[in-house]
Amino acid sequence: MKAELFDIFDEGMNLIGQATRAEAHAKGYWHQTFHCWLTRREGEQRFVQFQLRTATKDTNPSCYDITAAGHLSAGETVAQAVRELEEELGVAVPFEQLVPILRWQEEDEGEANGVPYIDREFSHVFGLVWDEPLAAMRLQVDEVAGLYEAELSDMIALFAGQIEAVEASGIMVQESDSGSVNVASHTTVRASQFVPRDPAYYIQVLRALQELT
């Protein structure tokens, strides 16, 4: 299988070359990612959706994370990265339907499945109002173990440190004789279970989602 290539950058986001995904994470090269958060309306309520990463991910396995996200391959534009929504969730929308929220620069170090990594990312962050039920999602089983939603205002309070936990409902992927199926799931989530980021990232993004119509 051909190794995935990334464009790599210096800290000022000047292009300096290309590297494989493994090299970028081993040596801490800056690279680009695409983030898209989905929000759903139900009467006066507003929900935000977030995924559970699989246990086999090479960074932050088994953590809760952005609804859909991924790395930009070498030469790929941010607009082309909208493919992540269809690949991970089965949501096919044009890039123009997404609402730009912010660009975020972050660094993370850790170990995943015995392999140390240094993850340095320029993240292009978007929002999307998507009122379809979670049960209709087609999850990419090698990337996404589950998909959940919780009230948007509660999630803001969670990352602001005002409450300790939030109740969330969603779906988990379960293997069956006929293939992968979505199974209803309910859980309690804490901020510490999400991919570790500056809480300001989560708060800014979630507040921006409140403004989407």
The pLDDT, as a whole number, for residue 182 is 86
- pTM of the full structure: 0.93
Residues of the chain with pLDDT under 70: 1
Give the phi and the psi of residue 84 in degrees, each rounded to 5: -60, -35
* Predicted pLDDT at 1: 60
* Nearest residue to 48 via CA among 57, 38, 58: 38
The confidence score (pLDDT) of residue 181 equals: 83
pLDDT of the residue at 175: 76
Tally of CB atoms within 10 A around 205? 23
Q: Please give the domain boundaries of the chain with CATH numbers for all domains.
A: 5-210 (3.90.79.10)
